[in-house]
Structure 1
Amino acid sequence: MEGNLTYLLGRGDSEDMLVSDTPPTSNSSAAYEYTFFYPELDISCDFENISAFASTFFPVLYSLLFVTGLVGNTLVVWVLIVFKKIRAMTDVYLLNLAISDLLFVFSLPFLIQYSMRSQWTFGNAMCKIISSAYFIGFYSSVFFITIMSIDRYLAIVRSVYALQVRTTAHGVITSLVLWAVAILASVPDLIFFQETNYNDRTQCIHHYPDSSNGWKTFSNFEVNVLGWLIPVAVLIFCYHSIWKHLQKCHTQNKYRAMKLVIIVVIVFFLFWTPVNIVLFLDSLRNLYIIDDCQTSQRLDLATELAEALSFIHCCLNPVIYAFVGEKFKKHLRQVFRKYVHFLLICKDCSAFNRHSLDNRSSLHTTSSRLSFVDSVL
């Protein structure tokens, strides 16, 4: 996302902010190495407090997200490929969502080192690769959350039509198109992110070809439209239709399904709305509508907090879209049963196997009673 990596990796060029001769402090993060001067107000704007916050908070947060995101999404990919065998369109989208989250997760070790050392040490090629991987992971994750909402809408509300279009082949084709759109949306970041030396420090930041904020503002609005406005409109339409349809249904797990619909919508709004708001406000700053130091400092701190909130979403996707599903949980139990069986060396192995078979039979009986709505949600 434009805001996330721009603030983390450093500020781009801007004619409304001039770098002063003040040397960076020893604990400055890569994002806030300088004091900025606002010509219209004839004042200097110091970001040292935000720098101290970022340099201590982000390495800890990124480390936790790397571990939990890697374990959760890898487990999803493993179960889908090895045990579930990708038999439905929903499986295709779920697999791609986990891969897109992993793409973001794999960029975190580089960002951890960067935020700790306040200097980019991986070269210009890796600067472009990591920044592009981050933005591709962001766009693709939002796209697949959106397409999974459409898939659920078709399966539940338009079930007759869904029989024709909800095929594995269509899922693969749609996924390839979404990846292509995500890559195209990230091309400006691949072009403009580069390794740059400022005040004897190497940074990985945007370097735009002109002195205006046109490209930066365009990138912000691109995130707002592609990464929030369109997905939110689709989610509201799909889940509102699903909600109305579920109210007419008489499935045994109707209320559990309705709770899941509420959770999906609330989580998306909670984690992605704040960062899109601060990106919009940052665009207003680029257009000189916001031009005072105090507001700018508050906006930068709000951006840091909003980014930290949005990063957590990659760890929640496996829980929301995979682990809560009855079918996926059944496969997950089979995974643990299979590998615990090999690790368990004791006299009670035969008893454990009999107990596992009983559980498997019970699970089969329970899952056979689930309705079509439950299997989709």
Structure 2
Amino acid sequence: MAGDHDYYYEDHGLFNTSDGGSSSSGQEHERFLHFCGIFLPCMYVAVFVCGLVGNSLVLVIYAFYQKLRNLTDVLLMNLPLADLVFACTLPFWAYASIHGWVFGKTACKVLLGIYTSNFYTSMLILVCITVDRFVAVVQATKAYNEKAKRMSRAKAICLSAWAVSLLVSLPQIIHGDVRELDRPVCSPHNEEIPTVVLAIQMTVGFFLPLPVMVVCYSVIIKNLLHARGFHKHKSLKIIFLVVALFLVTQTPFNVVKIIRSRSWEYHSRTSFQYAVVVTEAIAYLRVCLNPVLYAFVGLKFQKNFWKLMKDTGCLPYLGVSRQQNFSENTSKTGSTSHHAEATSMFQL
């Protein structure tokens, strides 16, 4: 997904108003330009604000209230960090969608690199979280006994995810440039990027996370159905929400990308440009919803959230009440076996 907003910036793209002399096509194209001029800035700003608030809350709680005791905690701290950095590039694209790119060539390359690499980092961390949960459920006893060893690998796993993401995003950085169409546009020259590189990027961003999630969560569901001593129904709902979030937000845009890569004639159709813009907006929703599914569903995290609300003076009475309830719930669940703890999707 990252860096692909340049689809509608190229020869038949967002700022090219020539349309082969057809007045009806020209009017349609003008309507598309008007739509983008309103929709894109609103979408970028909305995702930025929601992503900034949600992911910042997660980072603050992990940094000051929640100890990093296992691999999942380390991964859940890196996920909002990647999403937050990604979201912080969106105001620049919002401004550029209205006024054109005014930040220069160097900023173009840097922001394309940040924008792209953090998208892939987020996806790789999602894969790691899925695999970690799979190991905790399927090999619960072994995972518990090797808890210290798995924790020592956490930093190496996260550093590897960031390094691979930076490597995968290098083509966008290298080929990123400011081009003069009707106004300055920052985008990579996709026609100069080899097809095999684009295929690798789509694999990391979609075709790797999807089967890993489906296979691992299928096995987890099987184990949950045979487990006892915890709220399996809530766990199953969370699993379905995680998979559904990924499918609903990422599938449409990747389908559009595949169509574009195989049938270039679609690229000149205004209707296809609408599909690019709208499906990309849907893909961005992941940045806003990840904190909810991967952090706020945890009882331990919720308890620390209400501590934060109390300490900052926000909803003090409600915060105390909630905190007491979560303390009771945590103490009750703390007496269960480590297998039940590992299997429960919301005891993170």
TM-score bracket for this pair, using the shorter chain length: 0.7 to 0.9
The aligned counterpart of 1:310 is: 283
Shift in Å, 1:36? 6.0
For the pair 1:276 / 2:257, whether they are aligned, the reply is no
Q: 2:296 aligns with which of 301, 323, 327?
A: 323
Contact 2:299 2:330 in 1 (8 A): no
| Percent identity between the two aligned chains | 29
| Cα distance in structure 2, aligned partners of 1:339 and 1:2 | 36
Contact 1:131 1:193 in 2 (8 A): yes
| Cα distance in structure 2, aligned partners of 1:222 and 1:81 | 34
TM-score w.r.t. structure 1 length?
A: 0.81
Once the two structures are superposed, the pairs formed by residues 192-203 of structure 1 within 5 Å of their partners are 192-199=175-182, 201-203=183-185
| Cα distance in structure 1, aligned partners of 2:105 and 2:320 | 58
The aligned counterpart of 1:338 is: 311
The aligned counterpart of 1:63 is: 45
| Cα distance in structure 1, aligned partners of 2:32 and 2:196 | 25
Q: Secondary structure at the residue paired with 1:340?
A: coil
Quick one: which amino acid aligns to residue 328 of structure 2?
Answer: S
Structure 1 pair 67–161 and aligned structure 2 pair: CA distance change class (3 A): same
Shift in Å, 1:4? 3.2
| Cα distance in structure 1, aligned partners of 2:324 and 2:19 | 71
Q: 2:80 aligns with which of 66, 77, 98?
A: 98
Quick one: which amino acid aligns to residue 77 of structure 1?
Answer: L
Structure 2 unaligned blocks of 5 or more = none
The aligned counterpart of 1:125 is: 106
Structure 1 unaligned blocks of 5 or more = 12-16, 20-30, 39-43
Q: 1:139 aligns with which of 110, 117, 120?
A: 120
Structure 1 pair 250–302 and aligned structure 2 pair: CA distance change class (3 A): same
Q: Secondary structure at the residue paired with 2:185?
A: strand
CA shift digits 1:77-105 (9 cap, x unpaired): 11011111212111110111001101111
| Cα distance in structure 1, aligned partners of 2:150 and 2:308 | 26
Contact 2:16 2:181 in 1 (8 A): no
For the pair 1:158 / 2:139, whether they are aligned, the reply is yes
Shift in Å, 1:359? 4.8
Quick one: which amino acid aligns to residue 114 of structure 2?
Answer: A
Structure 1 pair 47–285 and aligned structure 2 pair: CA distance change class (3 A): farther
Quick one: which amino acid aligns to residue 242 of structure 2?
Answer: V
Contact 1:152 1:376 in 2 (8 A): no
Contact 1:337 1:356 in 2 (8 A): no
The aligned counterpart of 1:33 is: 15
Once the two structures are superposed, the pairs formed by residues 104-253 of structure 1 within 5 Å of their partners are 104-117=86-99, 119-163=100-144, 164=146, 167-199=150-182, 201-207=183-189, 213=191, 215=193, 217-218=195-196, 220-253=198-231
Give aligned pairs, total: 337
| Cα distance in structure 1, aligned partners of 2:324 and 2:216 | 39
The aligned counterpart of 1:4 is: 4
Shift in Å, 1:47? 3.2
Shift in Å, 1:207? 3.1
Shift in Å, 1:156? 0.9
Quick one: which amino acid aligns to residue 294 of structure 2?
Answer: Y
Shift in Å, 1:219? 5.1
Greater Cα radius of gyration, structure 1 or 2: 1
| Cα distance in structure 1, aligned partners of 2:167 and 2:111 | 16
Structure 1 pair 354–62 and aligned structure 2 pair: CA distance change class (3 A): closer
Structure 1 pair 366–188 and aligned structure 2 pair: CA distance change class (3 A): same
Structure 1 pair 353–47 and aligned structure 2 pair: CA distance change class (3 A): closer
Contact 2:3 2:187 in 1 (8 A): no
| Cα distance in structure 1, aligned partners of 2:116 and 2:125 | 14
Structure 1 pair 301–83 and aligned structure 2 pair: CA distance change class (3 A): same
Contact 1:97 1:141 in 2 (8 A): yes
More helix as a share of residues: 2
Q: Secondary structure at the residue paired with 2:208?
A: helix
The aligned counterpart of 1:365 is: 331
TM-score w.r.t. structure 2 length?
A: 0.87
| Cα distance in structure 2, aligned partners of 1:261 and 1:326 | 16
Shift in Å, 1:112? 1.1
| Cα distance in structure 1, aligned partners of 2:165 and 2:257 | 19
Quick one: which amino acid aligns to residue 159 of structure 1?
Answer: A
Structure 1 pair 300–361 and aligned structure 2 pair: CA distance change class (3 A): closer
Q: Secondary structure at the residue paired with 1:70?
A: helix
